[in-house]
Structure 1
Amino acid sequence: MLDETAKGVFTIAVTPFLPDGALDFDSIDRMVDAYGARGATGLTILGMMGEAGKLSADEAVAVVRRVTARATVPVVVGVSAPGFAAMRALSAAAMDVGAAGVMVAPPSGLKTDAQILSYYHDTAETLGPVPFVLQDFPLATGVQIAPSVILKIVEDCPTCVMLKHEDWPGLEKISTLRAASNDGARRISILCGNGGLYLLEELMRGADGAMTGFGYPEMMAQVVQAYTAGEETRARDVFDAYMPMIRYEAQPGLGLAIRKYSLARQGVIAHPTLRKPGAGLSRAAMAEIDALADRQALKLRALDLAPPRM
């Protein structure tokens, strides 16, 4: 079961589709294996970048079953939903097949601290003993959660064991939360998103690792491993080698298409298909990604980090 000690890299998994939009279960198997081989200490599925909103309820359960049956690391399942009945149903199904916990983002209608607190009190009640991740991603949800509110949720809801930190800018939020835990507040795991853009600084502020889905997931594992070992220069060198691709993937509206193209290019998934509606890549964009990948490979070889092969 997921708990407050979680650390490392919980890779946000894409949901692979065939060219006709059907679920690609063979690619799910290959993807789970690849993420594990590239250093993931956990997987997070059915998140915002997993196109969860484009799946039927039956499809979502089918994906959870396939991933949990294949994975050798803890699996967190995104169960965010407009209503608590759907959240409860998917959470129960996920835990029944071996998920380690679930993740919940706030709905966009929450405007005040009191509304946010009430929502997560209701979430904890709905989920019962299931451990959950509080997803703090205001750029996507429009919900601003102050550190004081997060600390109150953590205090009131013992089953909230992790924060997926994805505020932007948000480094000061990490520092505030860690200072509070040093002063006696309950400490929970903090894993960070934003495509890895600020991973090194987030680690230095006290984060426990990453929970994001950059198209080269080994980057997060290598940076976290080097930083944890006290090798900050090595961590910076690795991060710098991937930075041009991280920057390119961070384009609003195109990030998932770029990520899926990169994963298909590496053989992790068979097709870069996004379910409609979804952005596509032009030939010019694909050529730019190819050029960045080739340059990235040269930098990695200079660091004695050969690109993974499938």
Structure 2
Amino acid sequence: MALITSETKGVFVIACTPFTDNGALDTASVDSMVDFYYEKGADGLTILGMMGEAPKLTQAESIEVTKLTLTRSGDKPVVVGVSAPGLAAIGELTKAVMDLGAAGVMVAPPSSLRTDDQIIAYYRNVVETVGKDVPVVLQDFPLVTGVQISTKVLGTIFEEHPSIVMLKHEDWPGLQKISDLRDAEAKGRRRTSILCGNAGAFITEEMQRGADGAMTGFAYPEMMVDVVRLSGEGKFDEAQDIFDAYLPLVRYEQQPGLGLAVRKYVLAKRGAIASAAQRRPGAALNALAIKEVEKLIARQTAKLEALN
């Protein structure tokens, strides 16, 4: 399996982790979910991220999910989230998943980091721990981690560590960060791949700012695939039309604490996974929320039919 590089582009769907209704790993649904994502046009997957409920898995389960996903993915690249409070756990899981054939690992900063120097030192320690031959995705998601990483600090980290080949951009607001990073590259700094999260809520603007694609878990990956493709062709108005049809559901997913429940419900409805269950603790949609989601899906379908 090929490794990710600073030139990696496209849509890497952040995959959920399927569970049965009693909270056990649903291995059959891992296969059906992987097939679903690739059938919808995904270029690769990212597993064991925040959407993958990684903190609720044991180390053995994390390795099992990785093995199942890699086996089903064939030659498609799979990035594995290895974020953990301690570097020893990051190093152990990284070695295991890279030995299995992962395309790279993703690391978010721990919430304990407070200063620029601490952030820079942390990623220096990460690279030393996992090895300079392992491609790393730096996850910049301050809304969840509470860690604010400036463009200047990102530049310092990228210059110091060529093995950090990708930024998972989830700052909000963060469009200017993309522009500033690309401007710095135009002035001579090495290139870094930028794939964006936040459920694709800003994907049309992100692509026009210079992003290389999406790395997020919206339950209609075909939207992101179409928007990235059309944007790459310079068809920004067409990309916006596609995005607009999905926007109400994208917006609904942004509710803190409920987004994963919405995504898993939709994925189950679409046949990607057998159950919408989350491992405890985890929120579930009540009858009224399900009614709202169903209404949004129906309106979305009608808008897409009108476009076609």
Q: Which residue of 1 aligns with 2:206?
A: 202
1:214-262 alpha-carbon deviations (Å, 9 max, x no partner): 0111110011111111211210110000001000011111000000001
- SS of match in other structure, 2:165: strand
Give the Å deviation of 1:280: 1.2
Instruction: State whether structure 2 residue 126 is matched by structure 1 residue 116.
Output: no
* Letter aligned with residue 302 of structure 1: A
For structure 1, which runs of at least 5 residues remain unmatched after alignment? 305-310
1:69-88 alpha-carbon deviations (Å, 9 max, x no partner): 00141000000011111111
Mapped to 1, the partners of 2:250 and 2:29 lie a distance apart of 23
Identity of aligned residues (%): 59
Equivalenced residue count is 304
Mapped to 2, the partners of 1:63 and 1:216 lie a distance apart of 22
Matches within 5 A, 1:150-229: 150-229=154-233
1:159-189 alpha-carbon deviations (Å, 9 max, x no partner): 0000000000000111110100000011100
Instruction: State whether structure 2 residue 99 is matched by structure 1 residue 100.
Output: no
Q: Which residue of 2 aligns with 1:53?
A: 55
Q: What TM-score does the superposition give when structure 1 sets the normalisation length?
A: 0.97
Matches within 5 A, 1:30-45: 30-45=32-47
Give the Å deviation of 1:2: 1.0
Instruction: State whether structure 2 residue 236 is matched by structure 1 residue 249.
Output: no
Mapped to 2, the partners of 1:27 and 1:156 lie a distance apart of 40
Within the candidate set 126, 149, 156, 1:145 is matched to 149
Within the candidate set 23, 26, 45, 1:21 is matched to 23
Give the Å deviation of 1:303: 2.2
Aligned CA RMSD, in angstroms, stands at 0.7
Mapped to 2, the partners of 1:159 and 1:41 lie a distance apart of 21
Mapped to 2, the partners of 1:65 and 1:260 lie a distance apart of 22
Q: Which residue of 2 aligns with 1:127?
A: 130
Mapped to 2, the partners of 1:188 and 1:206 lie a distance apart of 11
Mapped to 2, the partners of 1:197 and 1:130 lie a distance apart of 30
Q: What TM-score does the superposition give when structure 2 sets the normalisation length?
A: 0.98
- SS of match in other structure, 1:53: helix
Q: Which residue of 1 aligns with 2:289?
A: 285
Mapped to 1, the partners of 2:242 and 2:83 lie a distance apart of 34
* Letter aligned with residue 111 of structure 1: R
Within the candidate set 215, 233, 239, 1:235 is matched to 239
Give the 4+ runs in structure 1 shifted more than 2 A.
Answer: none
Q: Which residue of 1 aligns with 2:79?
A: 76
Give the Å deviation of 1:29: 0.3
Mapped to 2, the partners of 1:279 and 1:299 lie a distance apart of 29
- SS of match in other structure, 1:49: coil
Within the candidate set 66, 89, 99, 1:86 is matched to 89
